[in-house]
Amino acid sequence: MQNKIDDIQNHFEKELNLIENSDQLEEFRVKYLGRNGSISELFEEFKSLPKEEKPKYGKTLNVLKNKYQSLFDSKKEEISAKSTVSKSDIDFTLPGRERKLGRTHILTQTMFEIKAFFKNLGFSIHEGPELESDYYNFEALNFPADHPARDMQDTYFVADDFLMRTHTSPVQIRLMKNSKPPIRAIMPGKVYRNEAISAKSYCLFHQVEGLFVDTDVTFAELKGTLVAFAKHFYGKDVKYRFRASYFPFTEPSAEVDVWWQPKGKEGKWLEILGCGMVDPNVLENVGIDSEKYVGYAFGMGVERIALLRYGINDIRLFFDNDNRFLTQF
C-alpha cells in the first residue's frame, strides 16, 4: 500500500506537467483517475486492510485523491484555454504586422553617391585613422608649429602630439608616403572640430578629400572635375563660383560656393569645398619630386553638400537620429 502511494506521489505531478494536449490529458486521466486507475486501485486495496490500519490510510487516501483531482482540473482548464485560443480567437484574415525596414542614413547615401561619382572618373578610395598625430594633421601639410593657419581649426587634442583629425587631408600624406605617382584617390571620413554647436556647425562632420598627383596635372583639370561634380549633384543649371582662398598645403587655393535659393527667401552663396594645387613643400615632405610632379587636391564637406541639395536648414538633424527626419530620405 505505502509503496503504491509513494509511487503515485513521485510520478503524478511530473507527468501532469509534461502534458500538452487533450489527448495526452485523457490518457493520463484514465491511468490515474479513471475507474480502473491507480487511485481507484488504492481504494480497492483499502477495503482489504486490517481494521486497525484503516483510519490512518483512509484519511491519507482522501487527501491524496482531492489533491490530485484538483491538480488535474486546473491542468484541464489550462489545456482547454490554450486550444480555444488557437481555434477561434485568431483572425487569420487580419493583415500581418508591418515590419519596419531600416534604411541607409542620408549622409551615408550622400557619401555613396560622391564615391560613385569619383570612382567613375578613375579615383580609387582610401581611408585613414581618425586619431592622428600632429605631424600628419598639420606639420606635413605645411603648417609649421607656430603657423597662424592652425587657428583656423579648433582642434580636439587627445595628448600632446595626438588629436582627432580636423580634416581628411592627413590621409593625403599617408597615401603619398606609401605610393608612387600617378596617384588619383578620394579619401572619405569623419573629422572633428571643437566648435560651438549650432544649426550651422557640429563637433563632428564628414569630408571627402580628393588628390591627383601626376606629371601634368593642371588647375583647369581640377576646375573641370569639380564643376562636373557640382552639376552632377545640383543639376546642370547650378550656379557656382570659384573664390580665391588660402590653405597652407595648396597654392593657389580656392573655395567653391554654390548658390542656395530657398523658396520665397533671399538666396546666398554657401561654401561646399576647398581646393587648390598641392604646395610643392607638401610633395617634398613626402618624398615626391616637386620638379617633376604636380598635384591638385580638394576637400568637401558632406553635410554641407546634403544640406544644400535637400534644403535642410540645421546640421544637427543629421545626428539626432529622429526617425521623422531620417525616413524622409
Q: Which residues bind ligand PHE (CB under 6 A)?
A: 167, 169, 209, 247, 250, 274-276, 297-299
Closer CB to ligand PHE, 67 or 177, in the complex: 177
Q: Which residue is nearest to ligand PHE (CB)?
A: 299
Closer CB to ligand PHE, 42 or 171, in the complex: 171
CB of 169 to ligand PHE, least distance (A): 4
CA distances from 184 to 56, 140, 198, 213, 246 (A): 99, 19, 35, 7, 23
CB of 163 to ligand PHE, least distance (A): 14
CB of 106 to ligand PHE, least distance (A): 21
Closer CB to ligand PHE, 181 or 276, in the complex: 276
| Contact present, 183 and 175 (Cβ < 8 Å) | yes
| 219 CB-contact burial (10 Å; exposed 0-12 / middle 13-18 / buried 19+) | middle
Q: What span, in angstroms and rounded, lies between the C-alpha atoms of 245 and 314?
A: 26
| Residue among 21, 135, 146, 10 at smallest CA distance from 86 | 21
CB of 297 to ligand PHE, least distance (A): 4
In the chain the first and final C-alpha atoms are separated, in Å, by 78
CB of 288 to ligand PHE, least distance (A): 16
Closer CB to ligand PHE, 68 or 298, in the complex: 298
- Length of the chain in terms of residues written: 329
Q: What span, in angstroms and rounded, lies between the C-alpha atoms of 320 and 40?
A: 71
278, containing H or E segment = strand 268-278
Closer CB to ligand PHE, 32 or 165, in the complex: 165
